[in-house]
Amino acid sequence: MDISLSQIRGIGPARVKAFEAAGIRTVRELTMFLPREYRDLSSPVPLATLKPGEAAAVRVRVAGEVSERRAKRLLITKLYVTDDTDTVQVVWYNQPWLKKQMPAGRELLLYGKAEFRQGYLSLISPTIEQDQGLIPVYRSIPGIPPKALRQSVEAALKLCEGQWPDELPEALRRRYGLCERNFAMRNAHFPDSPEALEAARRRIAFEELLLYQIALRLFRSSGRSGVKIAFDDGAAEAFWGRLPFEPTAAQRRVLSEVAADLRSERAMARMVQGDVGSGKTVIAFAAMALSHAGGWQSALMAPTEVLARQHYEAARRLLEPMGMKAGLLVGSLTPKQHRLAHEAIAAGEWDAVIGTHALITEGVEYRRLGLVVTDEQHRFGVRQRTLLSEKGDAPNVLVMSATPIPRTLSLILYGDLDISIVDELPPGRTPVSTRIVPEAKREAMYGFLRQEVKKGRQVYFVCPLVEESEAVEALPAEAVYEDLRTNRLSELRIELVHGRMKSADKDAALERFRAGEADVLVSTTVIEVGVNVPNATVMVIENAERFGLAQLHQLRGRVGRGAHASWCFLMAEPNSRLKFLASTTDGFKIAQKDMELRGPGELFGTRQSGTLSGGIGSLAGDAELLKLTHDEARSLMARPDAPDAQAVIALARQRFAERLKDVAIN
């Protein structure tokens, strides 16, 4: 199974490169690239029963001629389809071949979501289906069309048919009613029935979660000694006393936990969780000040250059008056600036080094690294923060996350970390009012936006996609940008930002918005972290039904950062999930609800690459499965000499070999 992808018919050199860029190099790895969802094409519904915001399959006929219209870079194709119950409009973007393929009377099986557009119900970018039953939908890979991806996975499965060894002990499989591994792999991709799919998902999720938790326990039990930092008893209180504001009780409590870790013989490995705006960054700076008081350097790694620069500016304001020298190391520095930065770090001239992934590149040597901080930890894989910690002699590690996670889930997924929670917001944060806006009220919302801009405020528009996708039914950012710029809000200054832009262009657009040179910023979720614009008072989220509650809450946190009343508009038809979000601003309640509704794996999506392997992020099951695997891992580790425990522990070591390479075998 560990053979090259080039052995699969239809995968040429270009597609091999595209797969490798996505981290898929062998046939085995391709079979472990699991679907993120499934389309149910088994029971098409009548057009008259379509409901806004709900995905469905419909069997229809083309009614009349196809029309096309251009709007800048967008080609908009429209036609009407009918069945015995109703007639609706269908809209596609940038698919010029459709016009010739849609003669009147052609029968189609379409799958997509209906939305209200200009007062009418329309199907927006539905897929044209050939198959029936449950069809897998995979995370998109640039350079590989969805249909070709599906065919490649199917071919890989045929090559591996019957070859998956069942490495879990039989007694354990029987105890939990787990299906056979080959059955699980086949039905996880191309299920014979909904029941077979559920059994397959449960088997794969159980195995991956169990092995992951055992690996974390092995890693944790290694208990490596680390840098012990000595500082005066009053150092923490002295830091708070120098601030221009009063810290919250939660900030004081968490810093005391961090301070105790820094002074201990064992290397700190702590996560600080807190809602948007709870003041986690100040705690990180306080830890860096304590490190400096003990004679050690600190490094803070952020996921984007914009966020790194913001931290650097804040560090200069806060730490330099305390006698600390802060420095910035990011990819966009000139060669000379890079050289000077490396020299300053190696010589110990910079007490606090702040940057991006540039901090872990080859050639960066630290004088006396005692503390490593990673911000927005969910954006980094385990290996990335490990690489930074390896730059010193077992420095203390502090990770921060603004994505609230239920405590029980944190203890399972981040079993190698102690958890501190900042569960109190500083006074002065402006509450954000959240409203669900159906399509019928879109024009009224645009009127409200114009009034806000007249007051001197700014607006975010967030879309789930960069451009039109065959696999996803949602408004793309490019289409929204063109529509606002040329039509709806043409009198305003509008910028576009998305992840496929060059970093320099993206940062420049974000900086123009931050500087007040643009009224509206249209983007994908790249602005979820790292943008602090106190003057922005409105967040509009297109296709809000496509986002998880935790992510919607994170996006909502981009506004309400100044003294002005702020708003978050969820563009979607009302449902119980979105109504819950509108009813509370408590991030931990929202995270708990998100886990109940979507399963813990979906809470993180693909961000946990480097922790759970092989696409398990979309298969982590439910809270009950997490508890079962947690309890089983604890039971196995309590009797490590038992044959079944030895087998599972050996399998965990094999599966997570890179993570556990330096952990002594007990």
At 566, which CATH number? 3.40.50.300
Clarify whether residues 341 and 465 are in a common domain: no
Question: What pLDDT, on a 0 to 100 scale, did the predictor assign at position 519?
Answer: 97
pLDDT tens digit sequence for 584-600: 988 878 877 776 665 54
Clarify whether residues 452 and 324 are in a common domain: no
Mean pLDDT of 434-449: 94
Clarify whether residues 18 and 100 are in a common domain: no
Is 513 within the bounds of a domain? Answer: yes
Is 10 within the bounds of a domain? Answer: yes
Residue 84: which domain range? 43-128
Question: What pLDDT, on a 0 to 100 scale, did the predictor assign at position 658?
Answer: 65
Cα end-to-end distance, the chain, whole Å: 31
Question: What pLDDT, on a 0 to 100 scale, did the predictor assign at position 212?
Answer: 82
Is 61 within the bounds of a domain? Answer: yes
**H or E segment at 372?**
strand 369-374
Mean pLDDT of 170-187: 94
Count of CB atoms within 10 A of residue 99's CB?
A: 16
CATH of the domain at 8: 1.10.150.20
Question: What pLDDT, on a 0 to 100 scale, did the predictor assign at position 639?
Answer: 92
Clarify whether residues 27 and 52 are in a common domain: no
Count of CB atoms within 10 A of residue 588's CB?
A: 18
Domain count, the chain: 4
- Which position has the higher pLDDT, 30 or 1? 30
Q: Is-contact 133 41, C-beta < 8 A?
A: yes
Whose CA is closest to 311, among 292, 293, 329? 329
Clarify whether residues 296 and 375 are in a common domain: yes
What is 505-569 written as a DSSP string? HHHHHHHHHHTTS-SEEEE-GGGSSS---TTEEEEEETTGGGS-HHHHHHHHTTS--SSS-EEEE
Query: What is the C-alpha separation between 57 and 109, in angstroms, rounded?
Result: 7
Query: What is the C-alpha separation between 410 and 465, in angstroms, rounded?
Result: 29
pLDDT tens digit sequence for 64-100: 889 998 877 788 899 999 999 999 999 998 888 888 8
| pLDDT cut 70: percent of the chain above it | 86
Is 636 within the bounds of a domain? Answer: no
pLDDT tens digit sequence for 115-163: 877 677 889 889 898 888 888 989 889 899 888 999 999 999 999 888 8
Question: What pLDDT, on a 0 to 100 scale, did the predictor assign at position 158?
Answer: 92
- Which position has the higher pLDDT, 425 or 182? 182
Question: What pLDDT, on a 0 to 100 scale, did the predictor assign at position 663?
Answer: 47
Residue with tokens 């029309």: 67
Is 350 within the bounds of a domain? Answer: yes
| DSSP 3-state of 253 | helix
Clarify whether residues 347 and 469 are in a common domain: no
Clarify whether residues 438 and 553 are in a common domain: yes
Question: What pLDDT, on a 0 to 100 scale, did the predictor assign at position 222?
Answer: 59
pLDDT band for position 618 (cuts 50, 70, 90): very low
Mean pLDDT of 501-527: 88
Is 172 within the bounds of a domain? Answer: no
Query: What is the C-alpha separation between 374 and 372, in angstroms, rounded?
Result: 7
Is 219 within the bounds of a domain? Answer: no
- Which position has the higher pLDDT, 107 or 606? 107
Is 295 within the bounds of a domain? Answer: yes
How much is the mean pLDDT over the chain? 84
Clarify whether residues 154 and 242 are in a common domain: no
Question: What pLDDT, on a 0 to 100 scale, did the predictor assign at position 596?
Answer: 66
Question: What pLDDT, on a 0 to 100 scale, did the predictor assign at position 147?
Answer: 86
| DSSP 3-state of 315 | helix
Choosing from 384, 401, 418, the residue where a domain stops is 401
Question: What pLDDT, on a 0 to 100 scale, did the predictor assign at position 426?
Answer: 78
Clarify whether residues 439 and 568 are in a common domain: yes
Question: What pLDDT, on a 0 to 100 scale, did the predictor assign at position 617?
Answer: 43
Question: What pLDDT, on a 0 to 100 scale, did the predictor assign at position 521?
Answer: 95
Clarify whether residues 93 and 240 are in a common domain: no
Mean pLDDT of 543-555: 86
pTM, whole model, 2 decimals? 0.62
Clarify whether residues 79 and 123 are in a common domain: yes
Whose CA is closest to 371, among 258, 222, 282? 258
Question: What pLDDT, on a 0 to 100 scale, did the predictor assign at position 339?
Answer: 93
Question: What pLDDT, on a 0 to 100 scale, did the predictor assign at position 26?
Answer: 92
Question: What pLDDT, on a 0 to 100 scale, did the predictor assign at position 43?
Answer: 86
pLDDT band for position 602 (cuts 50, 70, 90): very low
- How many CA atoms are closer than 13 Å to the CA of 426, on its beta-carbon side? 18
pLDDT tens digit sequence for 379-433: 455 555 566 667 767 788 898 877 666 655 665 566 667 778 888 877 767 779 9
Question: What pLDDT, on a 0 to 100 scale, did the predictor assign at position 664?
Answer: 42
CATH of the domain at 123: 2.40.50.140
Clarify whether residues 257 and 371 are in a common domain: yes
